[in-house]
Amino acid sequence: MGSTRLVSRRRQDPGGKWARIAIAVLATVGVIDTGSITLKRWGWLGDLSCPMGADGCDKVLNSPWGTIAEGIPLSLIGLLAYGAVLLMALLPLLPGLTENKADLSRRTWWGVFTVSTAMAVFSAVLLGLMVIKIQAFCFFCVLSGVLSLLLLILSVVGGGWDEPGQLIFRGVLLALAVLLGGLIWASVVDPDRPELATGPGVAPLVTTESSPAAVALANHLTSTGAVMYSAYWCPHCHEQKELFGKEASATLQVVECAADGENNQADLCRSKGLEGFPSWEIKGSIESGVQSLNSLAERSGFTGDTDF
């Protein structure tokens, strides 16, 4: 009778309860890690204390690879992934789910394995970019990579798999797909790709065309002493210049703040106490973040054509 109960209990969850709890703990740390980064990028959280150099974290997180689309930091994808792993780890442990619990457990183990595999492989791509392309150290990024790898190991060791061969086959296919997709994505957003390459320490080329109104606004901003504080590696700074277009952005007064940037004025930028890039100083007031051309026109007292 006791043996029957033991077999029945094992069928409810082929994996180990200890593994689910450990995965839940690590996923919670991941949620806190990526959530803090995301809130900081959205301006909802103050500066994060980054071990081994805050400049490295800023450089990595604000690099072209730190954003997947306008206003959507890459850390948000990590936050969603850790949240999904946390949910899948805890769901079979909740009371009152005895019906179909074995099927739920099996599906969640596959889910945890799939998500953690994708996270571990993609984290490896990001860490490679951090070392090879960005050449800076970000503690939060390394932590996320370590957490992803530990989650993958726990899902393999603690999942109670009946068919290891199928697990390995699916894992290898998924890893290759994520690796290929990650490398393609990394090359697409690389500012050093041939069509945008400008040399070390120099911002990517602006490719959009300027409207006459944008050129007039840029001339007005320069003539009234407005300054744009920028960093060559900052994707949002490039986004700001693209709003103006190549002709108009060429007339702006842009100060390079990266210490390794060409013709930089890093000391001046530090003395201004800037909270991020780009930052605009207009009429003695500094505001950080990408600004719409209409907002810049209003702040600077521009009275010309605003058909940007």
Residue appearing with tokens 């949240």 = 83
Q: H or E segment at 219?
A: helix 212-223
Q: pTM to 2 decimals?
A: 0.64
CATH number of the domain where residue 290 is located? 3.40.30.10
Give the max Cα distance, the chain.
89
Residues 139, 23 within the same domain: yes
Residues 224, 83 within the same domain: no
Q: Is residue 308 part of a domain?
A: no
Q: Is residue 195 part of a domain?
A: no
Q: Is residue 198 part of a domain?
A: no
Q: What is the pLDDT of residues 89-109, one digit of tens each?
A: 999 888 776 567 788 889 999
Lowest mean pLDDT among 3-7, 70-74, 281-285: 3-7
Which backbone phi and psi does 159 adopt, to 5 degrees?
-80, -10
Residues 183, 224 within the same domain: no
Q: What is the pLDDT of residues 150-186, one digit of tens each?
A: 999 999 999 889 888 999 999 999 999 999 999 999 8
Residues 269, 157 within the same domain: no
Q: What is the pLDDT of residues 141-156, one digit of tens each?
A: 999 999 999 999 999 9
Residues 45, 152 within the same domain: yes
What is the torsion angle, in degrees rounded to the nearest 10, for the CA atoms of residue 239, residue 241, residue 245 and residue 249? Answer: 180
Q: Are 203 and 246 in contact (CB under 8 A)?
A: no
d(CA 108, CA 90): 9
Residues 120, 219 within the same domain: no
Q: Is residue 207 part of a domain?
A: no
Which residues are within 8 A (CB) of 192 and not within 5 positions of it... i.e. 6 or more apart? 133
Nearest to 128 by CA among 186, 80, 51: 186
Q: Between residues 190 and 269, which one has the greater pLDDT?
A: 269
pLDDT band at 47 (very low <50, low <70, confident <90, very high): low
Q: Which two tokens stand for residue 131?
A: 């070392």
Q: Which two tokens stand for residue 164?
A: 């290891």
> In 182-196, which positions are buried (b, 16+ CB within 10 angstroms) versus exposed (e)?
beeebeeebbeeeee
CATH number of the domain where residue 139 is located? 1.20.1440.130
d(CA 88, CA 90): 6
Nearest to 156 by CA among 104, 103, 120: 120
Provide mean pLDDT across the span 121-145: 91
User: What domain range includes position 240?
Assistant: 212-300
At residue 187, does pLDDT exceed 90? no
Q: Is residue 204 part of a domain?
A: no
pLDDT of amino acid 53: 59
Q: Is residue 114 part of a domain?
A: yes
Residues 167, 268 within the same domain: no
Residues 178, 221 within the same domain: no
At residue 66, does pLDDT exceed 90? no
Residues 146, 41 within the same domain: yes
Total domains in the chain come to 2
pLDDT of amino acid 2: 43
d(CA 152, CA 209): 47
Sequence-distant contacts of 276-279: CB under 8 A, at least 24 apart: 276/62, 276/236, 277/62, 277/229, 277/230, 277/231, 277/234, 277/236, 277/237, 278/228, 278/229, 278/230, 278/234, 278/236, 278/237, 278/240, 279/228, 279/229
DSSP symbol at 93: G
